[in-house]
Amino acid sequence: MKTKWGEVGVSTWIPGVAMFEMAVLELKVAEASLSLSSGGDGEEKLVVLVERGAVEDDERWEEVLNGAETKLDGAAALAGAGVSLSSRLGTRIEMLRDEIRVKRGMLGRGS
């Protein structure tokens, strides 16, 4: 790719990392919006919602978790074995999947 600074190669790790970061962002935005509506942190709000049976927010979390998992699937597919950062990205993806499983458990939906 030619730029004003000269010729720049396109790196293959960028799409996978970008997709991973989009999944993180989606989860953080959901957590923040729940935090703002509760006055507490997002996880506290999630526990309160589940205890009260707040179906709308419960369903919203499920949508967010599904969207994040779809993005993680995309990140894993984009970070092929030929990418030098693939093992590190793979570890980050699995750690985030574990966090999603914990949140699903809090929602009473299992994995």
Query: Residue 37 pLDDT > 60, yes or no?
Result: no
H helix runs in 1-111, sequence order: 14-38, 42-52, 55-78, 86-106
For residue 75 the two structure tokens come to 């990140």
For residue 73 the two structure tokens come to 């699937």
Sequence length of the chain is: 111
The pLDDT value recorded for residue 31 is 81
Query: Residue 111 pLDDT > 70, yes or no?
Result: no
Around Cβ 29, how many Cβ atoms within 10 Å?
A: 11
Domain ranges of the chain: 13-106
Which of 24, 44, 13 shows the shortest CA–CA distance to 96?
A: 24
Query: Residue 16 pLDDT > 70, yes or no?
Result: yes
20 CB contacts (<8 Å, ≥6 apart)? 71, 72, 75, 89, 92, 93, 96
92 CB contacts (<8 Å, ≥6 apart)? 20
The pLDDT value recorded for residue 32 is 78
The pLDDT value recorded for residue 26 is 92
